[in-house]
Structure 1
C-alpha cells in the first residue's frame, strides 16, 4: 500500500499543476485531435486532460521506484 501512495499522491499533485499550466495557456475549445476539433464540453476536456497528465506522472513515478531497486531486491528468492 505504501508504494502505491508513493506513486499516486505525488503524481496527483504534479498532474494538477500541469493541468493548471496547460489550460492557462490553451483554451479547451480550441484543441484539435488528429486534425479535427474536439467537440467535448470544457468539463470533459479538463477531466480527460487531468487523467492523462495523472497517468503520465504516475508512469514516471512508477519507473523511478522500479529503477531504485537494489541488486539484492531483484535477486532475492521469492
Structure 2
C-alpha cells in the first residue's frame, strides 16, 4: 500500500513539473536567469527538480489529508461520546 501511495504522489507530480517546465521556459530564457558559468541545460535540470519537489510536496499533503480516521488510528475508531 505504501508503494502504491508513493506512485499516486510521484507520478502526477512528475507530470505537473513537466508541464510547468514547458510553460515557464516558453516565456523565460534560461540564459537570462542563469548564474555565471551555468549552462542552459543546468538551468533546465535544476528548474525541473525544483518544480518536481514543489508539486511532490503538494501531492503528498493532498494524499495525507485524504486519509480516513481508520487509516490514521491504525484501525481503531472509537465510538462517539454520548452525553
Pairwise TM-score range, normalised by the shorter structure: 0.7 to 0.9
Alignment partners' CA distance in 2, 1:22 and 1:5 = 25
- Larger C-alpha radius of gyration, 1 or 2? 2
Runs of 4+ in 1 over 3 A off after TM superposition: none
Q: Which has the higher contact order (CA 8 A, sep 6+)?
A: 1
Measured on the aligned residues, the alpha-carbon RMSD in Å equals 1.6
* Equivalence map 1:1-78=2 (5 Å): 1-31=3-33, 38-39=35-36, 40-76=38-74
TM-score, normalised to structure 1, is 0.86
TM-score, normalised to structure 2, is 0.81
Gaps of 5+ in 1: 32-36
Alignment partners' CA distance in 2, 1:30 and 1:5 = 35
Alignment partners' CA distance in 2, 1:44 and 1:13 = 20
Q: Report which stretch shifted further, 68-77 or 2-11.
A: 68-77
